[in-house]
Amino acid sequence: MNRAVTRVVILSFLLALLGPAEVRAGDERKASGPQVQQVSEGRLREAFAGYLHTHLRKPVSDVIVSKFKVSGNDEVPVGPLSLQVFQKERGTLVGHVRLAAIVAVGGVARTEVSMSGWVDVFESAVCVSRPVKKGDILEREDLYLIRINTSRLQGSAMNDVEYAVGLMAKHNLRENTCLKEWMVEKAPVLDKGDMVTILARLGGLRVTVRGMVLERGYPGETVKVQNLMSQKTIFARVVDGSNVMVAF
């Protein structure tokens, strides 16, 4: 009986000694182990959005990021964090966008994080208020502005109504179609066979002669014109729908 009691006392004594010792050893390992940190997803998302706003030159309210994902966000040593965001692959910053960020601690690069997300960009677009036939000249009452999501558009939408006024439709357009550059072109002011006045200036001398346009002409562009007096073909700059000018 005395031996059993003695064993219990000895065992209790050993447990009392070993227990605190193990805890102290664990605390020491924790205290002496490496201290690490990780960039929060919120900070990465903010950096992703900031890059878009800067490079798209759009207000925060016009750029919306969804389906945001992060990979490679490894732990780094404790210290002041900084991020440098960049675009690794060429591509637009609308729709599915991939960016990367170099994570630095105290100015020393530690890891690279990959980020991706779906980017919706909202902006004004010029649309036609009526069906437009090929060759129609767009007038102010034919156009209106609307705010649309451009992330799924093929090509950039025009956003300046005044610029669109006077352009000619290259294709038939349905009502409410938003205009893109490839849908329209400058309207010619001269057509092949039109009669014009050829203007020529040399110093203070001004000479005019009648001519015939040999090709379609646009304001400011150069066209072939036949001088009806000499029957020679010359090149002249289109001034308007009735005049061209020869430079000396």
Using the predicted structure, report yes or no on whether residue 61 has a pLDDT greater than 50: yes
Mean pLDDT of 154-166: 87
Looking at 119, 142, 171, the residue that finishes a domain is: 119
- Tell me, yes or no, whether 3 lies in a domain: no
Using the predicted structure, report yes or no on whether residue 138 has a pLDDT greater than 80: yes
Using the predicted structure, report yes or no on whether residue 133 has a pLDDT greater than 60: yes
Report the pLDDT value the prediction gives residue 6, as an integer from 0 to 100: 55
- Tell me, yes or no, whether 27 lies in a domain: no
Mean pLDDT of 32-56: 89
- Residue 40 has which token pair? 């929060």
Angstrom distance (rounded) from CA 15 to CA 72: 45
- Tell me, yes or no, whether 24 lies in a domain: no
Burial of 227 (0-12, 13-18, 19+ CB in 10 A): middle
- The conformation of residue 57, written as its DSSP 8-state character, comes to T
For 180, the domain range is 122-186
Tens-digit pLDDT profile for residues 93-108: 989 999 999 999 999 9
CB neighbour list of residue 178: distance below 8 Å, 6 or more residues apart: 125, 126, 127, 146, 148, 153, 157, 158
Tens-digit pLDDT profile for residues 145-157: 999 988 877 777 8
Strand partners, 226: 212, 233
Report the pLDDT value the prediction gives residue 12, as an integer from 0 to 100: 52
CATH number of the domain encompassing residue 201: 2.30.30.760
Report the pLDDT value the prediction gives residue 24, as an integer from 0 to 100: 38
- Tell me, yes or no, whether 6 lies in a domain: no
Tens-digit pLDDT profile for residues 68-93: 999 999 999 999 999 999 998 888 89
Tens-digit pLDDT profile for residues 185-201: 888 889 999 999 999 98
Looking at 119, 151, 169, the residue that finishes a domain is: 119
Mean pLDDT of 32-37: 75
- Tell me, yes or no, whether 58 lies in a domain: yes
Q: How many domains does the chain have?
A: 3
- Tell me, yes or no, whether 170 lies in a domain: yes
- CA-closest candidate to residue 148, choices 127, 182, 128, 125: 125
Report the pLDDT value the prediction gives residue 199, as an integer from 0 to 100: 94
Angstrom distance (rounded) from CA 115 to CA 93: 13
Report the pLDDT value the prediction gives residue 64, as an integer from 0 to 100: 93
| Same domain? 110 vs 131 | no
Looking at 119, 149, 168, the residue that finishes a domain is: 119
